[in-house]
Amino acid sequence: MAVLARLMLVLFALLVGLPAAAQEPGPRAQVMQRFGGELRDAALQGYVAQVGARIASAAGRPVRFTLLDSDVVNAFTTGDDEVFVTRGLLAIVASEAELASVLGHEVGHIVADHAAQRSEALAEAKASATVAAVLTGDPDSGRAVAGFGQAQLASFSQAQELEADRIGVELLRRAGYAPLAMAQFLETLGDQGALAARMEERADAERFNILSTHPVNVLRVRNAERAAGADLGGETGREAYLHAIDGMLYGDAPGQGFARGRSFVHPDLDFRFDVPPGFVLRNAPSQVNATRGDGARIVFDAAHARGVASPVEYLTRRWLPRADLADLRSFDLNGRPAVSARASAWVDGEPAEIRIVAVRWRDDTMFRFIFGYPARISDALDAQYRQVIFSLTRAGDAARRLRPHRLRIATVTPGETVKKIASRLPFADFREDRLRVLNGYPPDYEPPAGARIKIVE
């Protein structure tokens, strides 16, 4: 396991603790909590359900299909005849046939009863889900995810993945879709994972997404190609798909704040803060994460603070009553009372440092920062983390004018190149790479004039 994952597991155990199984909500409720609930777009929900119905009919099994309001690239099944897919995944899908291949893969897991086959590894799956909860969600929802890990989101074995791919290709063929769509989507998925790793300056992408639950490799692509064989026919449904997703929300959802460059801004709650250079910001429904390739990590969230007199009382009696904390200090943060503390841990024989900060933002709300990093880089980062803390201020009027990004379908005009089109995207870096992954374009491909292309506005 990577050092960062181990560090976050230590952090999770220190800061959260797990509830009794009787207190855990059911699997579907945990999914809703984890991934922002169902996307409030009846037309797009209906479209996904319609495509899914063709696959379910080909499988001869009733399956429910739900589109989640999350920009994480993921699709999964809880093993009880329901398949979930995120709008983040829809963004990189190129056609209706590719969407059908994703849904077909998940139905393949259901048909093959893979979740039941994994039930004997319950304890290990729980541990995997605990790490995944820390890696991309907030500690509160992470408690539920620990129970959810028993056979739902932990990785399937390679053999099960390959079997689900083969079943998915056969379901594509039976439903009238192009069987090669599975291999084509897997290629894009691999490119998306490689881009995520480059953006976070790591050799692999540890974010809890479809790449952690469905690892993509050359074997899977080749397996899907073999399953498709020489069958080059079938429906792709590209134009229908592009029409369906035109205008779809992309990235952060309204009401959850916006991660823009190195700044996190929340117009509704009127606050903002900045992270140091080199950190990549990720916004989840109830937590903000910032990671760097050397293992450093920043986690931010908010919690109810009714009935506590001070941040010190909140930290020591409500948030971390059993934690072994050191260097407890109260201070003023831009006119608001705050407290900081320090904890230590050992990860793979190497010391790690944890910094904890609680800020009373309102009478009933406490803002919380957690900084985790290997001790060997602690001196360099302590000063940067102080800058993060003291950058926490009111967002101001400019934040209220921020609008969410949306996918739009454009037509390539004569003379336009990927680089030229990408220069208009609202991102600070990796514009051309993002555009190529968004459309499934290989590195040297240039779309012809008149081609339909996905962009972000």
Residue 432, pLDDT above cutoff 90: yes
- pLDDT, tens only, 23-32: 457 888 888 8
Residue 248, pLDDT above cutoff 50: yes
Give the position of tokens 């009714």: 306
Using the CB atoms, write b or e for 424-439: b if 16+ within 10 Å: ebeeeebbbbbbbbbb
pLDDT of residue 216: 59
Please report, for residues 63, 169, 435, 438, the alpha-carbon distance to residue 427 in angstroms, rounded to integers and kept in the order given: 38, 35, 11, 13
Instruction: Return the H-helix or E-strand segment holding 87.
Output: helix 87-92
CATH topology for 35-118+156-250 is Zincin-like (3.30.2010)
Question: CA 62, CA 74: separation in Å to the nearest integer?
Answer: 22
Give yes or no on whether 35-118+156-250 and 258-400 have one common fold. Answer: no
**Under 8 Å CB-to-CB from 330, ≥6 apart: which residues?**
310, 311, 312, 337, 338, 339
Task: State which amino acid sits at residue 93.
Answer: V
Q: Average pLDDT, stretch 180-198?
A: 89
Can you say how many angstroms the Cα of residue 404 is from the centroid of all Cα atoms in its chain? Answer: 17
Question: CA 13, CA 29: separation in Å to the nearest integer?
Answer: 23
Q: What percent of the chain has pLDDT over 90?
A: 47
CATH architecture group of domain 258-400: 3-Layer(aba) Sandwich (3.40)
Residue 270 falls in which region: left (phi positive, over 0), alpha (psi -120 to 50) or beta: left
Q: Which string of DSSP letters, residue by residue, matches 264-289?
A: EEETTTTEEEE--TT-EEEEETTEEE
Per the CB < 8 A criterion, the answer to whether 149 and 119 are in contact is no
- pLDDT, tens only, 296-339: 889 999 999 988 999 999 999 999 888 888 899 999 999 999 99
Backbone dihedral angles phi then psi of residue 57, each to the nearest 5 degrees? -65, -40
Residue 60, pLDDT above cutoff 90: yes
Q: Which residues sit opposite 235 in a β-bridge?
A: 177
**Banded pLDDT at 125 (limits 50, 70, 90):** very low
Domain ranges of the chain: 35-118+156-250, 258-400, 412-456
Query: What's the whole-number average pLDDT of the chain?
Result: 82
Per the CB < 8 A criterion, the answer to whether 406 and 456 are in contact is yes
pTM of this structure: 0.78
More confident site: 26 or 123: 26
